[in-house]
Chain A
Amino acid sequence: DGGITQSPKYLFRKEGQNVTLSCEQNLNHDAMYWYRQDPGQGLRLIYYSQIVNDFQKGDIAEGYSVSREKKESFPLTVTSAQKNPTAFYLCASRPDGYSNQPQHFGDGTRLSIL
């Protein structure tokens, strides 16, 4: 079945450490997104990519980095500059950038600080 796979499901970060969250999709979608979810705050956009080798900052990009070297992959790195990384991270994709296409979501990665 086609879908979005996020790994790992749970991740722990030590102080000063960078960690990378994986997102892979086999839906042949062009556009991919990373969101951060905190209780009571909904979802906030970190980065998005409309096409391979191109990506844009979202609303809360500071302390995060991404790459889009392959159509099916959009990894997110949480750097040591992100001082409050504890959150639930969701990856999403859609066929293209048109607004009437709904986004499809993975099952998320929960990141905590050791």
Chain B
Amino acid sequence: AQSVTQLGSHVSVSEGALVLLRCNYSSSVPPYLFWYVQYPNQGLQLLLKYTTGATLVKGINGFEAEFKKSETSFHLTKPSAHMSDAAEYFCAVSGNAGGTSYGKLTFGQGTILTVHP
């Protein structure tokens, strides 16, 4: 079984400040991890993914995330927030393919990011 916990349903930052969105996962197999962003009334857009290799992953729009196996975490960061970053962010985990899982994605509950001028 796998699960995802996003700490904080709402995060508020000032424009130019550091963005930190927290994600912890549980997985019985080495995980594949994803961050998606959702703007109002739209679908999800992939920000970045971790599969294997380098644990610091860079994504679009200046976001990055670090996979820490010992902490079972995959926190999302951006050094300087922009007004256009205001959206809802979802962390998701997928186990290795095999059996009947077929790469099923399990999502966290989401974190709404507000950026103040």
User: Which positions in A face B, CB cutoff 8 Å?
Assistant: 4, 6, 31, 33, 40-45, 48, 50, 56, 58, 88, 90, 92, 94, 97-108, 110
Cβ-defined contact, A100 with B51, below 8 A: yes
Cβ-defined contact, B103 with A97, below 8 A: yes
**With A41-B109, A50-B102, A100-B51: A105-B32 Cβ-Cβ less than 8 Å:** no
Cβ-defined contact, B43 with A40, below 8 A: no
The 5 closest A-B pairs by CB, nearest first: A105-B43, A99-B103, A100-B51, A42-B107, A97-B102
Interface hit among B11-19, B62-70, B72-80, B92-100: B92-100
Q: Is B7 an interface residue (CB 8 A)?
A: no
Cβ-defined contact, A42 with B51, below 8 A: no
Report B109 CB to chain A, min CB distance, Å.
Answer: 5
Cβ-defined contact, B41 with A102, below 8 A: no
Of the A-B pairs whose beta carbons lie under 8 Å apart in the complex, a sample of 13, sorted by A's number, is A31-B103, A41-B109, A43-B105, A45-B104, A58-B104, A92-B44, A97-B103, A99-B95, A99-B96, A103-B44, A105-B44, A105-B45, A110-B41
Report B61 CB to chain A, min CB distance, Å.
Answer: 16
Given the complex, which residues of B lie within 8 Å of A101, measured CB to CB?
A: 103
Cβ-defined contact, A42 with B110, below 8 A: yes
Given the complex, which residues of B lie within 8 Å of A98, measured CB to CB?
A: 97, 103
Cβ-defined contact, A40 with B9, below 8 A: yes
Q: Could you tell me how many residues of chain B have their Cβ less than 8 Å away from some Cβ of chain A?
A: 29
**With A40-B9, A41-B109, A48-B102: A99-B32 Cβ-Cβ less than 8 Å:** yes
CA distance A97 to B41 in the complex (A): 27
Given the complex, which residues of A lie within 8 Å of B102, measured CB to CB?
A: 31, 48, 50, 56, 97
Given the complex, which residues of A lie within 8 Å of B96, measured CB to CB?
A: 99
Given A92-B44, A100-B94, A103-B105, list of 5 further CB < 8 A pairs? Answer: A90-B43, A90-B44, A103-B44, A105-B45, A110-B41
Q: Which residue of A lies closest to B34 (CB)?
A: A102
Q: Is B84 an interface residue (CB 8 A)?
A: no
Binary interface profile of B, 14-51, with partner A (CB < 8 Å = 1, else 0)?
00000000000000000010101000011111100101
